[in-house]
């Protein structure tokens, strides 16, 4: 039997965010990159696990780097799918997540959306 656990799929979500984050950073100036010190660790954390100082830091980044902000919000919304109480609710959250994804980021999230499509039954049942 094939096992698709949510942690594997969620890790893919983090990996997509990572690729996006690195892509955004490589186009930044040295000064801008310094402003994002520690970004990898913080961006991979769930928003609810951030302390007030970390929350402030992330909020500042998301304002200054809108593409990063969108990617972080997408990651958080993706993880929220697993907090749905029922399968229909989870499917609706996934549909909503896909709808909030801007065209500019679709290729970055493609490995995840492909996996979700390929393993739909195993993930949602």
pLDDT tens profile 62-82: 999 999 999 999 999 999 999
Task: For residue 1, tell me if it sits in a domain.
Answer: no
Task: For residue 34, tell me if it sits in a domain.
Answer: yes
Task: For residue 72, tell me if it sits in a domain.
Answer: yes
Count of domains forming the chain: 1
pTM of the model: 0.91
Task: For residue 95, tell me if it sits in a domain.
Answer: yes
Task: For residue 26, tell me if it sits in a domain.
Answer: yes
**Residues 35-70: tens digit of each pLDDT:** 898 899 999 999 999 999 999 999 999 999 999 999
**Cα torsion angle, 15, 10, 99, 39, sign:** negative
Q: Taking the CB of residue 4, how many other CB atoms lie within 10 A of it?
A: 14
Residue in the block written with tokens 């929350």: 55
Task: For residue 111, tell me if it sits in a domain.
Answer: yes
Range of the domain at 112: 6-124
- Please check whether residue 4 is in contact with residue 112, taking contact to mean a CB–CB distance below 8 angstroms: no
């Amino acid at each position: 039997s094939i096992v698709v656990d949510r942690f594997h799929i969620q890790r893919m979500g983090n990996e997509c965010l990572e690729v996006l984050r690195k892509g955004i950073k490589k186009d930044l100036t040295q000064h801008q990159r310094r402003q994002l010190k520690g970004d990898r660790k913080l961006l991979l954390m769930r928003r609810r696990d951030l302390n007030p100082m970390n929350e402030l830091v992330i909020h500042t980044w998301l304002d200054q780097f809108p593409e990063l902000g969108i990617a972080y919000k997408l990651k958080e919304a993706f993880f929220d799918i697993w907090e749905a109480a029922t399968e229909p609710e989870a499917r609706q959250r996934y549909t909503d997540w896909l709808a909030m994804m801007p065209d500019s980021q679709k290729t970055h999230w493609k490995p995840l959306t492909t996996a979700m499509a390929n393993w739909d039954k195993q993930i949602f049942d």
